[in-house]
Amino acid sequence: MTKAIVGLGTCGIAAGAEAVLKSLKEKVEQMKLDLPISITGCIGMCYREPLVEFRTDTGERYIYGPVTEKKIDRLLTQHIVEGKPVEEWLVWTNNGLGSEKQFLKHQVRIVLRNCGLINPESIDDYIAQDGYKGLEKSLKELSPEAVINLMIESGLRGRGGAGFPTGMKWRFTRMSEGDRKFVICNADEGDPGAFMDRSVLEGDPHSVLEGMLIASYAIGAHEGYIYVRAEYPKAIERLRIAIGQAEERSFLGEKILGTDFHFKVKIKEGAGAFVCGEETALMRSIEGQRGMPRIRPPFPAVKGLWDCPTNINNVETFANVPWIVQNGAAAYNEYGTDRSKGTKVFALAGKIKRGGMVEVPMGVTIRDIVYDICDGIKDDRTFKAVQIGGPSGGCIPAQLQDTIIDYDSISRTGAIMGSGGMVVMDETTCMVDIARFFLDFTQRESCGKCTFCRIGTKRMLEILTRITEGNGKPSDLDTLEDLSHKIKDNSLCGLGQTAPNPVLTTLKYFRGEYEAHILSKKCPAHQCKALITYTILEGPCDGCTACAKICPVNCISGVKGELHVINQDMCTKCGECFRVCPRDAILLD
């Protein structure tokens, strides 16, 4: 038998998957087909959504995309009734066909092992993929200390940004004195361009719950929280379903799997404050206080939520745990580098042909991701840089694209791994404006507690804005570097300590662009409106009037058949005239 599966992650829903699902159900009923229909989460091919898969009992998989309501008739008639795949719409099959086979070819999916494979709202689907076997093994075959040792041997480092060894964090929490301990899952994913945690929670929520359960058994905790941003309604909905199902099947609650172990978990919806991704601010938010970081030590493992020992890991970290318990540390160590074991999930956005979510072994290069998985730069432009680690990360230039992706190698570039957001930029990107964009974000998200972070980032943002507006001066670069180091050295939490990274890395690798903005009053990438001009060239211009017709402020004048002129005082630098000119008669300078 064949069944149909529609991708209903947030990316699929945004692309129209709910309408496709509705149409599919109606057509199947009209055609009286014996075709069960289910849903799944995001497989990572966000750029080809909506996706529809036909899967047989014998394991054959055919994924089509992007699927529209108009394509449903042919898909059902040709593929289901006649048994002939519609090859021009195929994006992937498990027998090596499809236009996007390269996207999954280079991936190793541990965290994403079930995303796009199972129905995230079905605990039976999860159990069929050996779900909760890791918990069962932990409770019935391993002692808490043995579980911790397994995590240490695996080399799993926290995937939330800092990369602290997971097993050591668990050991510190277990060793701390206290009758009441907590496990917290940090799902407060606030980086622009990052959507890894959301996709895992939407596509495989039970794996995160199982990871939390194993962690709680290891450290001696019986209560837990999942701190997830309220902007993730689908993730929250599926988490609630998963928690209810796990309680019904005795994977949560009292006497779990017939043992004396008990654990309960609650969802805390965050209000979208970026600073609450910092663990001490997150705990204050759960306690009902304003989300502001506190001085460490004491660390949460000693004094955390409500002053009790607390272990905090992020979504990706917990999703690794069941796989490691089932398959062993040695199997996990087959992937990665000496100091960065396993795989890493990345959310890919920007000027790439294939944007979405991937999971690759630690140790692959930036070039591997950009060109092999993402198929290169849109419109075949020149790869310029990649911002990795979110607004607190840094810009790595194209000349370092052979840098391997692990914690130490990325840190040596001046960036940080972060949680895994990756924004790819091409030749049309202004690196000064990119630094300004990310600093504007972190400055607004600063909680204001630290003087250096609150005021220092504000002064830096003012300088960057002035430079992009053509009012910069040479001394600004020294001031930016001075402020950056002072903010990094004197801020209390990771937000302030890493906020200057985009500025420092762009100054390091693209200083010439800053100097062009300041000394020549030009933006080499032609993005800063105050530093560009549009001029109609005599000769190529044949007076076709296309530019005048499209101009939104009517600043282009001239008689049909003769040279036109742009009023520079009125021009808003929108670029529409440049875009529509059929004779390349407009100079952008």
Q: What is the CATH number of the domain that holds 71?
A: 3.40.30.10
Interval 474-503: pLDDT, tens: 999 999 999 999 999 999 888 899 999 999
Q: Model confidence at 391, in pLDDT bands (50, 70, 90)?
A: confident
- The pLDDT value recorded for residue 334 is 96
Three-state DSSP at 352 gives: strand
Residue 192 is predicted with a pLDDT of 83
At 161, the pLDDT band (50, 70, 90 cuts) reads confident
Is residue 107 in a domain?
no
Answer whether residue 111 is part of any domain.
no
| Whole-number pLDDT of residue 390 | 83
With respect to residue 545, please indicate whether it lies within any of the assigned structural domains.
yes
For residues 566 and 439, membership in a common domain is answered with no
What mean pLDDT value characterizes the chain? 95
Tell how strand 534-536 and strand 586-588 pair up. Answer: antiparallel
Question: Which is it for strands 556-557 and 565-566: parallel, antiparallel or unpaired?
Answer: antiparallel
Q: In this structure, are 452 and 348 located in the same domain?
A: no
- Give the domain-ending residue among 426, 441, 456: 426
Using pLDDT thresholds of 50, 70 and 90, give the confidence band for residue 190. confident
Q: Are residues 416 and 440 in the same domain?
A: no
3-state secondary structure of 473: coil
Both 85 and 198 in one domain: the answer is no
Q: Considering 471, 499, 520, which residue would you say is the last residue of a domain?
A: 520
376 in a domain, yes or no? yes
* Domain at 514, CATH number: 1.20.1440.230
Are 482 and 567 part of one and the same domain?
no
- Would 319 be classed as within a structural domain? yes
**What is the rounded radius of gyration, in angstroms, for the C-alpha atoms of the chain?**
26
Spatial contact of 355 and 45, defined as CB atoms under 8 Å apart? no
Q: How confident is the model at residue 280 (pLDDT cuts 50, 70, 90)?
A: very high
Q: 365 in helix, strand or coil?
A: strand
Q: Please, how many CA atoms are within 13 Å of residue 218, restricted to the half-sphere of its CB?
A: 33
Range of the structural domain that residue 21 is part of? 2-101
Alpha-carbon span 233 to 239, nearest angstrom = 10
pLDDT at 417: 86
Domain match, 88 and 33 both: yes
In a domain, 439, yes or no: yes
Look at residue 105 and tell me whether its pLDDT is greater than 90.
no
65 and 210 share one domain: no
Binned at pLDDT 50, 70 and 90, residue 163 comes out as: confident
Domain boundary among 304, 332, 360: 332
* Residues 35, 137 share a domain: no
For residues 160-167, average pLDDT: 88
- How far apart are the C-alpha atoms of 134 and 127, rounded to whole Å? 11
**Same domain, residue pair 252 and 277:** yes
Q: How far apart are CA 291 and CA 340, in angstroms?
A: 31
Which CATH number goes with the domain that contains 541? 3.30.70.20
- CATH code of residue 378: 3.10.20.600
pLDDT confidence of residue 209: 98
pLDDT of res. 461: 97
Confidence label for 457 from pLDDT (cuts 50, 70 and 90): very high
Residue 162 has pLDDT above 80, yes or no: no
pLDDT at 519 over 80: yes
Model pLDDT, residue 473: 95
Mean pLDDT for 527-532 is 94
Reply yes or no on whether the pLDDT at 24 is more than 80.
Answer: yes
- Is pLDDT at 531 greater than 80 in this prediction? yes
HEC assignment per residue over 555-575: CEECCCCCCCEECCCCCCCCC
pTM, 2 dp: 0.93
Overall number of domains in the chain: 5
Contact present, 541 and 578 (Cβ < 8 Å)? no
C-alpha of 241 from chain center = 24
> Exposure string (b/e) for 213-246, b if CB count within 10 Å is 16 or more?
bbbbbbbbbbbbbbbbbeebebbbebbebbbebb
Which residues are CB-contacts of 65 (< 8 A; sequence separation ≥ 6)? 45, 48, 49, 50, 51, 52, 89, 91
My answer on whether 252 and 190 are in the same domain is yes
**Band (160; pLDDT cuts 50, 70, 90):** confident
- Specify if 175 maps to a domain: yes
* Per-residue model confidence (pLDDT) at position 389: 86
pLDDT for the residue 575 = 92
pLDDT for the residue 506: 97
Same domain for 285 and 195?
yes
Query: Which two structure tokens, joined as six digits, stand for 89?
Result: 């719409």
Q: State whether 291 and 377 are in the same domain.
A: no
pLDDT tops 80 at residue 585: yes
Mean of the pLDDT values across residues 402-423? Answer: 90
pLDDT at 194: 87
Inside any domain, residue 112: no
Kindly report the CATH number assigned to the domain that includes residue 281: 3.40.50.11540
The stretch 76-88 carries a mean pLDDT of 96
For residue range 216-237, list pLDDT tens digits in order: 999 999 999 999 999 999 999 9
